[in-house]
């Protein structure tokens, strides 16, 4: 099935762009879980315990070609994203609007900025300007490490790239300008603890 952006460009999943390298085995308690699964499970925990209401944003799709091999079955062959996506997740916590993106990389020493799109950066800047909490969760898959970086810092690295600087954020820079999130059980990725710190410092 082929998906296309609003400008007609074909959508290629990030996973398809990865080179064929050995896949790191998941931890025993997290076998088969992706970053998205872990975040979704954490959000369900927050919701069930009355902590926060945060969900993954649905992506509006326009279906243009459907094949019916059988009367009772349909196969979507081609579809388009109706609009450029902004960020992955949004919701509310302690009366504050929360909006964030989640990305991961197999690169152990830096985080490529090509994982982000300009409209996502602009969206996060707009959210922050309105008093919302905007950030990114960055996962270094090889080390199974997750960091929360405020969109203010991400924007700085993005602008550095536009000015001719490096096209990635070094691991040292991520560590210096982010909060490390140790993996837990319930919730798996407790990013709300970091948000509490952000609210305290505002």
The whole domain housing 64 covers: 2-201
Beta pairing class for 61-70 and 168-170: unpaired
If one compares 4 and 36, the residue with the highest pLDDT of the two is 36
The yes-or-no verdict on residue 64 having pLDDT over 50 is yes
Written as one string, the DSSP assignment of the chain is -EEE-TTSPBP--GGGGS---PPPPPPGGGTT--HHHHHHHHHHHHHHTTS-EEEEPP--EEEEEEEEEETTEEEEEEEEESS----SEEEEETTEEEEEEEEEES-SSEEEGGGS-HHHHHHHHHHHHTT-EEEEEEEETTTTEEEEEEHHHHHHHHHHHHTT--SEEEHHHHHHSSEEE---SSSSS-THHHHHHHHHH-
Provide mean pLDDT across the span 40-50: 97
How high does pLDDT run on average in the chain? 82
Number of domains present in the structure of the chain: 1
The yes-or-no verdict on residue 118 having pLDDT over 70 is yes
pLDDT in tens, 186-202: 999 999 999 998 888 76
The yes-or-no verdict on residue 32 having pLDDT over 50 is no
The yes-or-no verdict on residue 171 having pLDDT over 80 is yes
So what's the pLDDT on residue 73? Answer: 72
The yes-or-no verdict on residue 20 having pLDDT over 50 is no
**CATH number of the domain to which 121 belongs:** 3.40.1350.10
pLDDT-wise least confident of 19-33, 38-52, 130-144, 187-201: 19-33
């Amino acid at each position: 099935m082929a998906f296309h952006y609003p400008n007609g460009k074909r959508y290629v999943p990030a996973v398809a762009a990865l080179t064929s390298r050995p896949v790191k085995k998941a931890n025993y308690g997290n076998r088969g879980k992706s970053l998205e699964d872990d975040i979704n499970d954490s959000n369900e925990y927050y919701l069930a315990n009355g902590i926060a209401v945060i969900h993954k944003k649905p992506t509006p799709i326009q279906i243009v070609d459907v094949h019916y091999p059988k009367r009772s079955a349909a196969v979507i062959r081609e579809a388009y994203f109706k609009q450029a996506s902004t960020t992955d997740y949004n919701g509310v916590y302690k009366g504050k609007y929360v909006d964030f993106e989640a990305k991961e990389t197999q690169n152990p020493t830096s985080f490529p900025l090509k994982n982000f799109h300009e409209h996502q950066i602009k969206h996060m800047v707009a959210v922050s300007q309105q008093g919302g909490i905007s950030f990114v969760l960055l996962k270094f898959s090889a080390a199974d490490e997750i960091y929360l970086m405020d969109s203010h810092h991400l924007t700085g690295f993005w602008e550095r790239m536009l000015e001719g600087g490096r096209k990635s954020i070094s691991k040292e820079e991520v560590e210096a300008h982010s909060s490390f999130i140790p993996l837990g059980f319930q919730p798996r990725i407790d990013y709300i603890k970091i948000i509490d710190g952000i609210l305290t410092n505002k």
